Structure 1
């Protein structure tokens, strides 16, 4: 994700962004056991992936659902230079200031993942309003975001989460309320992603992401090799889990 976002803790718009996006994708899929939450079948014809980053989700979904057109959009394109499925398109636009560049009621599904937690309250209200606008009646907005309000006892992890959260993060418990205000019926779940080797393959994926985040953080007191090594030790000692807000709303 680009550093256009207000929060300056994460600077992931570099060559590691695609790898980080793939690790996020694999970790989420391992926990959810599939790529989507809302009812997704052959009747879905157009899907928008907001904050698509490296494009891992859109490309895999495009292969799984060849009848559906997938459009991935991000403020700064970080998709790899390779051949995509024919039904997958990636676009670049500053949707936080200009809105989503699509007509009203033009998508069956709008997918938002690992994007809202970097935004302040005003940006979250605006983006979810835009997602509502471009979703057709009966369609779905799907959200998958980390809960930064959870208590993380591991000292270094707690410090990193606090820096990412910042003063403007409104918390995931407001997302379903905002969807309801825009005429959606929400369905909400809680999931947990383990951090560290103790959590098996999923935990190792998540630990690799943490190390990338530490490597790319803008805060000099966190960005050093000692902390990158220390985070793995902490995860084995405290066995932390990241709480994930996962859910969708159907537009009534």
Structure 2
């Protein structure tokens, strides 16, 4: 299996329609993370643009832009990635699937379609429908024994020569202090109770290869996520705080820990192409 670390960067056009951004929906919901409310919209934007900066664009796989006619995002959440891509590629139709979506209720590109569905039960499209399938922080919410069936479904709905790209995390931080360790232990324990293994993201390349994908690429990028803030509503009670405000005040102390321990986590980007024959 060939792993490419040096890949072409794709940067977004600055001449795009951004009218839909005036009323962006809340941060993505999931079976683990509750509705975080309108006050968390900024966190959704921060996360999106931090990933975009890290990837130097909205995707990293060597997709030929002129070939983009139909794209699918699995776990679109707030829809910000999908809507930005739809503005940038107006001749491409974008479809999004999410089990608990926040479908935009204001202006958004007319080449977007938002669908409520459970990808673990299959992808509701015919064989060889899409040129590109994108997932970001989605597989981390899927039970470990369902990864291969989901990826097989992605393989099925991709056109020959089409691409899939994942951006995931393994939920671990290196060189962390006491506060960060205690918070992340809570989340790891919760995932394990749901039969989810975040470390499986490290094996994405192998799983893609076993499914039949070729021209694989894999990148590991170090970063410190904003997870602690966007999940405050569910974290504070489980960590023994009476109010969300007390929890947020507590994690402000992380700045001291950061300067001492300089913690970092890994983001994993993996992509692959469906063979032409």
TM-score norm. by structure 1 comes to 0.83
Structure 1 CA distance for aligned equivalents of residues 110 and 87 of structure 2: 9
Q: How far off is 1:134 after superposition?
A: 0.9
Partner of 1:199: none
Contact 2:169 2:198 in 1 (8 A): no
Q: 1:194 to 1:150 in 2, by over 3 A?
A: closer
Higher alpha-carbon deviation: 101-110 or 186-195? 186-195
For residue 150 of structure 1, report the CA deviation from its aligned partner: 4.6
1:28 matched residue in structure 2: 51
Partner of 1:62: 86
CA contact (8 A) 1:48 1:72 kept: yes
Give unpaired runs (5+ residues) of structure 1.
Answer: 196-205
User: Secondary structure of the residue that 2:133 maps to in structure 1?
Assistant: strand
Structure 2 match to 1:49: 73
Distance 1:137 1:235, change over 3 A: farther
2:254 is aligned with 1:234: yes
Render the CA deviation track for 1:94-113: whole Å, top value 9, x for unaligned: 222x2111111111111010
Residues 179-232 of structure 1: CA deviation (Å, up to 9, x unaligned): 11111122000112245xxxxxxxxxx3xx521212233852255433322223
- Aligned position for 1:39: 62
In the aligned structure 1, how far is the partner of 2:232 from the partner of 2:175? 16
- Distance (whole Å) between structure 1 residues aligned to residue 115 and residue 236 of structure 2: 27
Q: Which residue of 185, 193, 197 corresponds with 1:169?
A: 197
Q: 102, 110, 115: which is aligned to 1:78?
A: 102
CA contact (8 A) 2:75 2:99 kept: yes
Per the alignment, do residues 12 and 169 of structure 1 end up closer, same or farther by CA in structure 2, a change over 3 Å counting?
farther
Instruction: Give the secondary-structure state (helix, strand or coil) at the position aligned to 1:42.
Output: helix
The answer to whether the 8 Å contact 2:172/2:266 transfers is no
1: CA distance, partners of 2:251 / 2:161: 44
Note if 1:192 corresponds to 2:222: yes
Equivalents in 2 of 1:23, 1:228: separation in Å? 17
**Corresponding residue number in structure 2 for 1:201:** none
> In structure 2, what is the equivalent of residue 140 of structure 1?
163
SS of structure 2 residue aligned to 1:243: strand
Correspondences of 1:65-214 after superposition (within 5 Å): 65-96=89-120, 98-151=121-174, 153-165=176-188, 166-167=191-192, 168-171=196-199, 172-185=201-214, 186-194=216-224, 206=226, 209-214=227-232
For residues 236 and 206 of structure 2, the distance between their equivalents in structure 1, rounded to whole angstroms, comes to 32
The alpha carbon displacement at 1:35 in A equals: 0.7
Out of 154-163 and 171-180, give the one that drifted further. 154-163
Q: Is the 8 A contact 1:13 1:78 kept in 2?
A: no
SS in 2 for 1:247: strand
Alignment partners' CA distance in 2, 1:53 and 1:246: 19
Unaligned runs of 5+ in 2: 1-27
- Please give the secondary structure, in 2, of the residue aligned with 1:53: coil
Superposed CA deviations along residues 87-140 of structure 1, whole A, max 9, x for unmatched, are 1111111222x2111111111111010111122211222221211111112111
- Tell me the number of residue pairs that the alignment of Structure 1 and Structure 2 aligns: 235
CA drift at 1:141 = 0.8
